[in-house]
Chains A and B, each alone.
Chain A
Amino acid sequence: MSAGMNAGNSAVDSAARRTGIAAALAGARTLLYKEVLRFWKVSFQTVAAPVLTAILYLLIFGHVLEDHVKVFGSVGYTSFLIPGLVMMSVLQNAFANSSSSLIQSKITGNLVFVLVAPLSHWAWFVAYVGASVVRGLVVGCGVFIVTVWFAPFQVAQPLWVLVFGLMGAAMMGALGLVAGLWAEKFDQIAAFQNFIIMPMTFLSGVFYSVGSLPPFWKAVSHLNPFFYMIDGFRHGFFGVSDVSPWVGLLIVGSSLAIVCALCLHLLKIGYKIRH
């Protein structure tokens, strides 16, 4: 009798657990959907504007430098610049998505709707980082589609393009989430973006080959994880890069793991969101 009762209870427990898991997955999916819908509703600002900025960079730098600079021996400057601009757009927009969404929700107070929901820290992480990856890739594809017509182009090893594109977007989405959790004001996010993200992306070899730098600056660039993202991504297009893509994979993978671990920890303890 008792064993039967226990068996019955455990069946109920496991059914409840299954229902709980299904509800948790549905909850995470809804938060991801909401985050994607949020940026898509203002896509003029979140997708079209960064694509236009990338085109302007390409037109200006390409016009000035196309006839003067050759990279990796034979690659024209405009061709070299395109993957860099694509990846820079992916990184900056992935960061902007999670950081701006979270800080807006914190300041306007509507984060309460997510805070009272039965969502785990994993659900938050998957949804915010997932939506950042989607936005980064949508903007990156937009930049690629518009700029690819400006120079002869090839995609030598598409798998590297995909791997570095996804890892870079995920890392910046997670970093944006960390910044969004930490910041209490819009200008703190702007400072994070302008004084950390922007210099690190601009000095990562988007506009030049790090191999062409003096030894000291070359060594400094090699300390910047953004350099490995851009370099590995570019390797996928040309089959050549400043460092081996495997080294890049190791460094970007390690950086991604550290940022994700930090992000998950902060979400788990409710850093600055559950008082």
Chain B
Amino acid sequence: MPSTPAISFRNVAKTYSGARGAVKALDDVSFDIEPGEFFGLLGPNGAGKTTLISILAGLARASGGQVLVHGHDVVTDYAAARRSLGIVPQELVFDPFFSVREALRIQGGYFGVHDNDAWIDELLANLGLADKADANMRQLSGGMKRRVLVAQALVHRPPVIVLDEPTAGVDVELRQTLWQFVARLNKEGHTVLLTTHYLEEAEALCNRLAMLKQGRVVALDRTSALLAGTASTMLRFKMDTPLPASLAAQSRVTGRIVQITAHDAVEVEAVLATLRNAGCVPEDLEIGRADLEDVFLEIMQGARA
């Protein structure tokens, strides 16, 4: 018998009515996340990632469809659904009235969890906050506040952890600490749903991915399958002269750096021949494997949507 999905999005739709008429933020979004998965939700700004997470968390209400957490509907059985969820919000928010320990005790209390100082201490130690337990939230740096947000999401020991762009604007050290900790929680059996703009993070951590574009799922597969299914080769080089027009469509240019996708050796040869015939002189030419960023851009440009 198949197990109940940790999270199930079924035909989720969300329409906002604005001054310029109705805006479809989500359109018929359906996919399941299985227990124990480390799942990535990717998409450009405005794709609907945070709206989807908000509906899951009960911060917003879907215009249509249904969301279940371990089989509990987030609207009709919200208490059970929310007890299974630990949400790390995108915004760096805090309650200025309380110390770190007070904030964690209060957050646990909302979920009916009391006398859990041992777990709070463990969370603080794992997130590098042990010496900040009695500090007021206002005294903490941005990075420290972000760690407290993670601790607050985990204080009631939820089986499903949702991180909405948790590393946006965060320094390297915190990113490492956070990912080590979340990866450990995932190994211990927690389901993790992550939205991020850092595609290398998603590639390194997530075993499966969904990509959203304009409120619709445009890709849903194992990370390895997405990587294998795309252009396997990427030419990277530097060049001062403009690209020939015939290559412009399939290339990505950042300043002097040019990246061109090629599916096999014949295509690589053809690209180089085109450059040579146009009189272009590429410098520091590299031929490498395509990464998730290439897959992402390819899908978002509609090539495989």
Chain A: residues with CB nearer than 8 A to chain B?
20, 22-27, 29-31, 33-34, 37-38, 41-42, 105, 108-110, 112-120, 270, 274-275
Contacts and interface: CB of A to CB of B under 8 A. Distances in A.
Interface in B89-127: 89, 91, 93-98, 102, 106-107, 109-112, 114
Contacts of B80: 20, 118
B85 interface: yes
Contacts of A115: 57-59
A29 B61 contact: no
12 contacts: A27-B110, A30-B106, A109-B89, A115-B57, A115-B59, A116-B87, A117-B82, A117-B107, A118-B81, A118-B112, A275-B60, A275-B61
Going nearest first, the 7 A-B pairs with the smallest beta carbon separation are: A23-B112, A30-B109, A117-B110, A118-B79, A109-B93, A26-B112, A118-B82
B100 to A, nearest CB: 13
B237 interface: no
Interface in B64-90: 78-83, 85, 87, 89
B110 A275 contact: no
Given A105-B95, A110-B95, 14 more contacts: A23-B79, A23-B112, A26-B109, A27-B110, A34-B106, A34-B109, A37-B97, A112-B91, A112-B93, A113-B106, A116-B87, A118-B112, A274-B59, A275-B61
Contacts of B89: 109, 112
Contact of B96 (A24, A108, A113): A108
A110 B103 CA distance: 11
Contact of A113 (B61, B110, B114): B110
B152 interface: yes
A120 B107 CA distance: 15
A118 B107 CA distance: 11
Given A110-B93, A115-B58, A116-B87, A20 B79 contact: yes
Given A38-B97, A109-B91, A112-B89, A118 B110 contact: yes
Q: Which of B59, B85, B94 has the most CB of A within 10 A?
A: B59
B79 A120 contact: yes
A30 B115 CA distance: 13
Given A26-B114, A275-B54, A113 B107 contact: yes
A155 to B, nearest CB: 35
Given A30-B106, A30-B110, A110-B94, A116 B79 contact: no
A120 B78 CA distance: 9
A112 B78 contact: no
Contacts of A34: 98, 106, 109
A138 B192 CA distance: 46
B83 A118 contact: yes
B60 A117 contact: no
Helix, strand, loop or mixed for chain A's interface?
A: helix
Nearest to B162: A116
A110 to B, nearest CB: 5
A149 to B, nearest CB: 34
B58 A274 contact: yes
B111 A275 contact: no
A75 B111 CA distance: 53
A24 B112 CA distance: 7
B60 A114 contact: no
B93 A108 contact: yes
A100 to B, nearest CB: 12
Contacts of A20: 79-80
Contacts of B107: 113, 117
B111 A117 contact: yes
A87 B128 CA distance: 49
Contacts of B85: 116
Contacts of A270: 61
A30 B156 CA distance: 14
A113 B58 contact: no
Contacts of A38: 97
A29 B109 contact: yes
Given A116-B85, A275-B54, A24 B110 contact: no
B176 to A, nearest CB: 26
A118 B109 contact: no
B61 A27 contact: no
A113 B57 contact: no
Interface string B42-62: 000000000000100111110
Contacts of B60: 274-275
